[in-house]
Chains A and B, each alone.
Chain A
Amino acid sequence: MPLEGLEDAELARRIAAAGERIDSAAESELYRRLAPRVRLYGLRHLRDPHAAHDLVQQVLLTTLERLRAGKVREPERIASYVLGMCRMTVLEIRRGTWRREQLLETYGGTEGYDAPEPVALDGERLAKCLEALAERERSVVSLSFFAEQAGDEVAKALGLSAGNVRVIRHRAIGKLRECMGEAQ
């Protein structure tokens, strides 16, 4: 069966079973699948693409190493295990007890396996879609994403209720998805 058809858990079990013989095909596939999830977690909690990239390497290279060494007790719950590693590592980064040098020392600067490139939108098309929004919608979207203001802050800035901002924001992002050809 092609690896693409296997569940994450089955890939984790194959990696654990191979141990130091290293099933690089299974490792590469698991890395490819989990990298976007870890990167998004990093972006959400660290708000820094470089830090998110480091998090992907730290968490996934450590996970693969522990799978090979039989140190992951429940390989069938690999996604949950990786999430736990993300949470722990982000806490360490925030406390200042994690250093990038550790990553270099442990893994010798290896980049790990190939990860899919982050989704990139056509900037020109997005600008046109933003221009097509109503002014209020554009204000809410730009305050949310550029100024990184939560709904209640946007509400205060625009003299609206937080509930109203959530409605406008949802509608505006829905329109952007449609305009960008993303809506299903």
Chain B
Amino acid sequence: MSTCAKPIELEALIAYWLGELGESAEAPLEEHLFDCAHCTRRLEWLAACAGGVRAAVREGTIALALTPRFLEHMKRQGMRIREYPAAPGETINCTLRAEDDAVVSRLQAPLAGASRVDALHSVDSGGGRIARWRMDDVPFDPQAGEVLFTPAAAALRKMPAHTRRVQLLAVEAAGERPLGEYTFAHTPG
């Protein structure tokens, strides 16, 4: 494999790929890339990773907490999104149909003053099988008063009817404060 005496730092490659470098920093970096198979190979990997992340979102192979702008971008990309707004304490009947690319839960919560929000998830598939996990420090919009989640649609399609519960917690110096609990009764589409 080719080597490079002075490889471009990963951070600079990332910044270049995302268009964050000014022209004066970008020009010499491109000169180096065109002369260096080693750094080209590293940038190729980064480009493939970026493409892989886009594919993972489009194909619903990962679960994500979303920002409002991310959700808008999904829609602009032509993804068909089924959305379920939910107030604290509410139980929502939900599904994912064949024509949907993703399902998004919009959890309304009193977020003013919160600096960090964690989410406790549980999925009860019946027969005593309950999976639990915690998402630390999820993105949220205090103004909108919402936390957005999309489960991995690819996995959701294969699941039988189940109940998913989400509890939002404000994490503060004094401890954790419950913000709301939401229940989704899922039936296959």
Contacts and interface: CB of A to CB of B under 8 A. Distances in A.
Interface in B38-64: 40-41, 43-57, 59, 61-64
Interface in A69-89: 79-80, 82-83
A174 interface: yes
**Is chain B's interface secondary structure helix, strand, loop, or mixed overall?**
helix
Nearest to A157: B67
B136 A135 contact: yes
Nearest to B30: A83
Nearest to A173: B14
Interface size class of B (residues with CB under 8 A): 35 or more
B59 A123 contact: yes
B64 A142 contact: yes
A135 B48 CA distance: 22
A79 to B, nearest CB: 4
Interface residues of A, number: 50
Give me the 9 closest cross-chain CB pairs, A-B, nearest first.
Answer: A145-B53, A127-B61, A145-B50, A79-B34, A119-B48, A147-B73, A126-B52, A83-B34, A79-B35
Interface of A: 8, 33-34, 36-37, 40-41, 43-44, 79-80, 82-83, 118-121, 123-124, 126-127, 130-131, 134-136, 138-139, 141-151, 157-158, 166, 169-170, 173-174, 176-177, 180, 182
